[in-house]
Chain A
Amino acid sequence: MTSHTQKALTEIARIRDGFAVSGYICDQKIATALHLAQQLEKPLLVEGPPGVGKTELAKAAAQYLGLDLIRLQCYEGLDESKALYEWQYGKQLLYTQVLREKLSELMDGADTLGASMGRLNDFEDVFFSEQFLQERPLLAALRQDAGCVLLLDEIDKADSEFEAFLLEILSDYQISVPELGTIQAKTRPLVFLTSNNTRELSDALKRRCLHLYIAFPEPAREAEILKARVPELEDAVARQLVDFVAGIRKLDIKKPPAISETIDWARTVLLLSASQLSAEFVEDTLNVLLKFKSDIEIVSPQIQTLLRETRDAS
């Protein structure tokens, strides 16, 4: 085994441990992706079904690295002025009004138009300076001294124009603002993009990113996650819960329950102080797991069978 590999493996193991401390249980794949993203300085595109912890991953990474998390929620119609920067017109106008007298004082004595222009020129940048610049998440992320974790959440919801606009940031960590010039990142931020795959992202974007697909976790790992999130839960119950949910995911339903729903369900179990899963309890609380009426109708007749399978498994 070579020293490079050894080093990488140690680093990956360290990431896994570090994440576990902040309550995020990640597998080898996720840790490797994070390690690569750091080492290669590439953005990480995270895809997977809703509720498997894509956004959580970014939060956990920020916590692990001790950096600020800057988040940009994408939506249809999101544009530069919401994502990058905006001039505060109102403030600029107000200042011009207030400074009007001062300005005329300044102009005093300039005979020709040219001379006034000359004087104004000396102050040209006053109104287009940092003072009037409203930072939005992307600019803020580039100007962090210590670096940060930048999360572009649900990038698939934004328009393809916005996607194209992001390319400069994603590949070179810089953006061009016409009035200020090109702004380079002081420290390169660690960028996460998440997508629920509601539409196909462009190849150009994908090419610039590492791609991590998070699927529903194995029952054993999901039990670990439950343990970390709901520590009061007994091991046996956790295992039973997880197996039951895994059973549901195999059925043909509209929206299979995600990890976040399993966690909610575990909390419900605690709240109602149920010591084990009974058919009755499941029937009553199924709406925590399933969000569509049609799904509940599919699952409820099968509760007994699913519970039996769970029991056999354990």
Chain B
Amino acid sequence: MFIVSDFVRVLRAADINVSTAETIEAGRMLDMMGFADRDLVKTGLSQILAKSESDKEAFDECFEDYFTALSFAEEQDDKADGPEASEPVPTEGEAPSTASQSPANGGLSDLLLQGDNAALAAAMARAASQVGLAEAKLFTQSGLFTRRIMEAMGLEALEQDLSARRGEGDADGVQAIEGARRKLFEMVRDYVDTQIKLRTANAGRRVREDALSRVKLSNLDRSDMRIMRGLVEKLAKRLATAHSRRRTKAQRGIVDIRKTLRRNQSHDGLLIDLVWKTKKIDRPRLITMCDVSGSVAAYAKFLLMFLYNLDEVIPKTRSFVFSNQCGEVTDLFQEQDLEQAMARAITHYGGGSTDYGQSLSDLAHYIIDDIDHRTTLMILGDGRSNFGHPGHDILRDLAARARRVIWLNPEPQALWNTGDSEMHRLGAYCHLVQTCNTIRHLERVLDNLLRAH
């Protein structure tokens, strides 16, 4: 069942998590139903191996690519031939000599001359597994593997045959074989390219995502935005699943008398079934205020993007944006899709130069009745108030009422308190002040925030 394990490897490269148990199950299914009906195989495998809607989409793509590359029709012929031929590609454990024997014995030139494409494809697949094409990591290796596969298929014998014919003066034969060799080269090259693409298409993306999550948000290209958006969505989803699970925590050892009495009423008041007290884990109520003036708009955009996606775990979030005054964008965010909402928030509030005093007093006006011991206030800004009043007294009042105040500053710590930065005065009233300028930082902050509650 080399086919199954190899296909599973391709699926894993496409970010579908397939377990060993599922691989075995897939093998059982193919044993049971055979390869003959393509649709049946596809449906069956997809039900066994792909376990979510997005996985199924990725699965369909992989299936089409993989089984075109392997030429499905030829496989069923092999299957029909009998048990010996049922594995078109030998497993890696088998002695390679048996695999390479048939084409190496001068068979390659015969195959080429006869134009037996099916047999050629089979020989090619066999040679590919022999040279370990499945291990290829980079597209730059394609030349190397093309050469190796051709050698494994018996290129040497072919060359000898060619020079022998040249010696005999068989011009027609020489021409025919040379033509066929070029064709073979094209074929192998194509095959290798498809295979490598199948296995490494996602590796590149993964490296890129990894790098992007560490790069400073202000240094992002416009072209990276699309990948970034996907990345943010993925991280938000990860946080959401990690924190949506347990909302109560049992406190072992303390009996909840009221609940116990009620539960045991049917036992005539005998306390048989004890109920332990549980502690409810509150989901945080979050109020965010983002600076959207030119200098930090890029960061605000990502924070808001994150919050937009975190909606499931933190349902009661109120969002505000400010530059020289502060305005609420909660409704805007709920009603419109992200791009539009962002653009409107920035054009509407992002014009002026930052005025922390005015903005904080605006914010206090909006939220003072809504802020209580469960509320976390999160402020994203560089703390640069253009030498105006920083509004730290207002922040002090807000902090006294809130559970926590978190300040995320996109500038590195070394730049705080230089020039017009008021971090020392504003930061004094915050429970946490942190540099936050990459997606990694953002994820860590939000993870802590969710865990602390």
Instruction: Kindly identify, within residues 95 to 139 of chain B, every residue whose CB is under 8 Å from any CB belonging to chain A.
Output: none
- B333 is an interface residue with CB less than 8 A from chain A: no
Q: Which of chain A's residues have a CB closer than 8 A to the CB of B268?
A: 90, 93
B33 touches A4 (CB 8 A): yes
Total count of chain B residues near the partner, CB < 8 A: 37
Contacts of A47 in B (CB 8 A): 52-53
Does chain A have a CB within 8 A of B28?
yes
Separation in Å of the B247 CB from the closest CB of chain A?
9
B449: min CB distance to chain A, Å: 20
Residues in A whose Cβ lies below 8 Å from that of B189: none
Give Cα A40–Cα B244 distance, bound, in whole angstroms.
33
A-B contacts counted at CB < 8 A amount to: 86
For residue B13, CB closer than 8 A to chain A, the reply is no
**Quick one: which of A1, A5, A39 has the most chain B CB within 10 A?**
A5
Interface-side segment among B36-44, B200-208, B422-430? B36-44
Q: In this assembly, does B365 line the interface, its C-beta being within 8 Å of a C-beta of chain A?
A: no
Q: Looking at the complex, which of A180-188, A204-212, A233-241 is the stretch in contact with chain B?
A: A204-212
Is residue B51 contacting chain A, with contact meaning CB distance below 8 A?
Answer: yes
B residues near A5, Cβ cutoff 8 Å? 33-37, 40
Q: Which of B25, B33, B244 has the most CB of A within 10 A?
A: B33
Partner-binding segment picked from A28-36, A64-72, A125-133, A264-272:
A28-36
Closest Cβ of chain B: how far from A17's Cβ, in Å? 17
Encoded as 1 (CB less than 8 Å from any A CB) or 0, chain B from 64 to 79 comes to: 0000000000001001
Across-interface contacts of B28 in A (CB, < 8 A): 40
Given the contacts A1-B36, A5-B40, A8-B33, A211 and B25 also touching, CB distance less than 8 Å:
no
| Known contacts A211-B50, A211-B51; is-contact A2 B34 (Cβ 8 Å) | yes
Given contacts A89-B267, A203-B17, A207-B19, A40 and B53 within 8 Å (CB-CB): no
| Residue pair B53, A213 in contact (C-beta under 8 Å) | yes
Q: How far is the CA of A5 from the CA of B17 in the complex (A)?
A: 28
- On chain B, the residues within 8 Å of A206 by CB distance are 51-52
A119 to chain B, nearest CB (A): 25
Query: Does B241 lie within 8 Å of A200, measured CB to CB?
Result: yes
Partner of B47, one of A8, A90, A210: A210
Chain B residues positioned under 8 Å from A8 (CB to CB): 32-34, 37, 40
Is A9 on the interface with B (CB-CB < 8 A)? yes
Chain B residues, Cβ within 8 Å of A32 = 40, 43-44, 47
Contact B37 A29 (CB under 8 A): no
Cβ B47 vs Cβ A33 within 8 A: yes
User: Which residues of the partner chain B approach A213 to less than 8 Å between Cβ atoms?
Assistant: 53, 56
Does A196 reach chain B (CB closer than 8 Å)? no
> Known interface pairs A36-B29, A42-B25. Does A2 touch B80 (Cβ–Cβ under 8 Å)?
yes
Which residues of chain B come closer than 8 Å to A1, judged between CB atoms? 36-37
Question: Pick the contact of B21 from A2, A160, A207 — CB < 8 Å?
Answer: A207
Interface string of A160-194 (1 = CB under 8 A from B): 10000000000000000000000000000000000
Find the A residue at minimum CB distance from B79: A2
Docked-complex contact A40 and B25, CB < 8 angstroms: yes
Knowing A90-B266, A160-B245, A210-B47, say if A28 contacts B39 (CB, 8 Å).
yes
B 1-51 contacts with A by CB, 8 A: 17, 19, 21-22, 25, 28-29, 31-37, 39-40, 43-44, 47-48, 50-51
Contacts of A3 in B (CB 8 A): 34
Task: Give A163 to B21 CA distance when docked, in angstroms.
Answer: 19
| A32 and chain B: residue at smallest CB distance | B43
B32-A207 in contact (CB<8A): no
> Is B270 in the interface zone, CB < 8 Å from A?
yes
| Chain B residue at minimum C-beta to C-beta distance from A207 | B19
The answer to whether the Cβ of B272 comes within 8 Å of any Cβ in the partner chain is yes
For residue A311, CB closer than 8 A to chain B, the reply is no
For the complex formed, measure the closest distance between the CB of B340 and the CB atoms of chain A, giving whole angstroms.
Answer: 13
CA distance A89 to B31 in the complex (A): 51
A199 CB-CB contact with B under 8 Å: yes
Given the known interface contacts A9-B40, A93-B270, the answer about A210 and B32 at a Cβ–Cβ threshold of 8 Å is no
List residues 236-274 of chain B with CB under 8 A from any CB of chain A.
241, 244-246, 266-268, 270, 272
Q: Are B47 and A211 in contact (CB under 8 A)?
A: yes
CB of A215 to closest CB in B, whole Å: 9
* Residues of the B chain whose Cβ atoms lie less than 8 Å from the Cβ of A209: 51
Nearest chain B CB to A216 CB, angstrom units: 13
A29 and B43 within 8 A (CB): yes
**Residues of A close to B53: CB separation below 8 A:** 47, 213
Contact of A207 among B22, B37, B39, B79 (CB under 8 A): B22
Q: Which residues of A contact B270 (CB under 8 A)?
A: 89, 93
| CB neighbours of B36 from chain A (8 A) | 1-2, 4-6
Shortest Cβ gap from B311 to chain A (Å)? 14
Q: Which residues from A are CB-within-8-Å of B19?
A: 207
CA distance A203 to B50 in the complex (A): 11
Interfacial residues, chain B to chain A (CB-CB below 8 A) = 17, 19, 21-22, 25, 28-29, 31-37, 39-40, 43-44, 47-48, 50-53, 56, 76, 79-80, 241, 244-246, 266-268, 270, 272
- Interface pairs (15), CB distance under 8 Å: A4-B31, A4-B33, A4-B36, A5-B35, A8-B33, A8-B37, A29-B47, A32-B43, A36-B48, A47-B52, A93-B267, A93-B268, A93-B270, A203-B17, A212-B47
Extra A-B contacts (13), CB below 8 Å, given A2-B35, A4-B33, A207-B51: A2-B76, A2-B79, A2-B80, A8-B40, A9-B37, A9-B40, A90-B268, A93-B268, A160-B245, A206-B51, A210-B47, A210-B48, A212-B47
